[in-house]
Amino acid sequence: MKKAKLFIDEKEVYEFPVQVDNMKGISLDIRNLRKDTGMITYDPGFGNTGSCQSAVTFLDGEKGILQYRGYAIEDLVEKCDFVEVAFLLVHGSLPNKKERYKYQELLNNHSMIHADMMDFFRGYPDHAHPMSILSAMVVSLSAFYPEIDLDEDPEAQMDLTVTRLLSKMRTIAAFTYRKLNGMDFVNPSYKYSYCANFLNMMFSSPVRDYTPNPVHVKAINKLLILHADHEQNCSTTAVRLIGSSEASLYAAVSAGICALWGPKHGGANQAVIEMLEKIRDDGITVDEAIRKAQDKDDPFKLMGFGHRVYKTYDPRAKIARKLCREVLDDLGKSDELLDIAIDLEQQALKNEYFIERNLYPNIDFYTGIIFRAMGIPTNMYTVMFALGRLPGWIAHYLEWHHDPYEKIGRPRQHYIGPTPKQVVPLEER
């Protein structure tokens, strides 16, 4: 084990271990820093801070590498469907045929939600954002499925909760869409695979024959795989932090949904389409958009660009860009927003401001265009991101849950408030 030494004003004040991880990543182990020296580190945004050890996902922001449980994202997207990848993330290995079939059966068995939850949907206004409904419904699952059967083996109960959540959140997402569009709910059907079931619940109609388009089913599988996990991102950190207090998986995932909703995070996929529509509708040229994105006094940002970790092209964006073209070609469609997006990318990648700051397209830059091509409305894009990210959130929650050394998350601070003072009684103030 290597050692590191801390000097303050040339005086050695502390020596501590240096860790090297399985992909040669180096971390300074400061777990005893405050106990031994009274000092803390300061890293707002945690850009330089490892919050945990994890075996779920590896990503290399400089090289644009992303691996779930050691498998490259490019390989998984080509050779697996979303249920296999969900199984891989949650259970740690790819399922064999028997396990895959059994998992599909389990997911189908748990795809309905409690009838009393239907009343909740009726209470929401039609202008509600789907993410507000999704997060509320997910945490409400803990009221209907509290897993308090103390006789049951806790691991079996956790496995049941995981399967319930993986299946029911997809149903809730589809029901949310139906409610916001004034349509009756379409129940899940055992006849369909995970993604086809989702599309059927979303778009099936009594007035016309509907069968999920195989091009859409394949694209949804790939898109959910692309979103399935991404190491210690904002929403996954939220899930781990909530889970660290031993709150339920439903509560932790509901918090993850809320964190993901923000336009700096998963909400960017909706913001990208709104940005492209604004550029089109306001007649903003691509050059003007690139200029506005650099102007600090202009609130306009190039949504879908930039990333805290990737300082090169997000490997998922590369796959999504190719998928865009494939889906549109398969459907015999074109989309002027895709043309604007490709033009924006080409101009940005040649522009000093973006080059200097390593700003490249991220996962959110192209995915909205694919959802749009399938008739999924803009306000549902971040719900799609959440559906994809769910197995990743679950995997990280379970990793903390099973780690005997994990503690409740409780960071410290750099205090900039007032120094101590006496209260002056009211009559003298």
- Residue ranges in contact with ligand SDX by CB under 6 A: 230, 233, 264-266, 268, 293, 301-309, 357, 359, 362-364
- CB nearer to ligand SDX: give 192 or 305: 305
Helix (H) or strand (E) holding 28: strand 26-28
Distance CA 99, CA 65 (A): 28
Cβ neighbours of 20 (radius 10 Å): 11
What is the DSSP secondary structure assignment for residue 5, as one 8-state letter? E
The Cα–Cα gap between 12 and 16 comes to: 12
Give 258's contacts (C-beta < 8 A, 6+ positions apart). 131, 135, 238
Q: Residue 391 Cβ, how far from ligand SDX at the closest point, in Å?
A: 13
The 3-state secondary structure of 91-115 reads HCCCCCHHHHHHHHHHHHHCCCCCC
Nearer to ligand SDX, 88 or 199 (CB): 88
**Total H helices, total E strands in the chain:** 18, 6
Please pick, among 364, 401, 402, 403, the residue that the annotation labels catalytic. 364
Nearer to ligand SDX, 17 or 263 (CB): 263
164 or 265: CB nearest ligand SDX: 265
C-beta of 45 vs 404, nearer to ligand SDX: 45
Question: Shortest approach of ligand SDX to residue 75 CB, angstroms?
Answer: 18
Reading across the β-sheet that carries 11-20, which strands appear in turn? Answer: 2-8, 11-20, 26-28
Catalytic residue status for 364? yes
**Residue with the shortest CB distance to ligand SDX:** 306
Task: Please give the span between the terminal C-alpha atoms of the chain, in angstroms, as a whole number.
Answer: 60
How far from chain centre, in Å, is Cα 225?
A: 11
For the CB of residue 363, give the shortest distance to ligand SDX in the complex, in Å.
5
Rounded least distance, CB 115 to ligand SDX, Å = 34
Q: Residue 268: exposed, middle, or buried by beta-carbon count in 10 A (0-12, 13-18, 19+)?
A: buried
Q: Is residue 126 flagged as an active site residue? A: no
Closest distance between ligand SDX and the C-beta of residue 27, in Å?
18
Could you say which DSSP state residue 374 is in? T
Q: In angstroms, what is the minimal distance from the CB of 386 to ligand SDX?
A: 11
Among residues 110, 129, 307, 396, the one annotated as catalytic is 307
Q: Which is nearer to ligand SDX, 357 or 402 (CB)?
A: 357
Q: Which residues are catalytic?
A: 307, 364
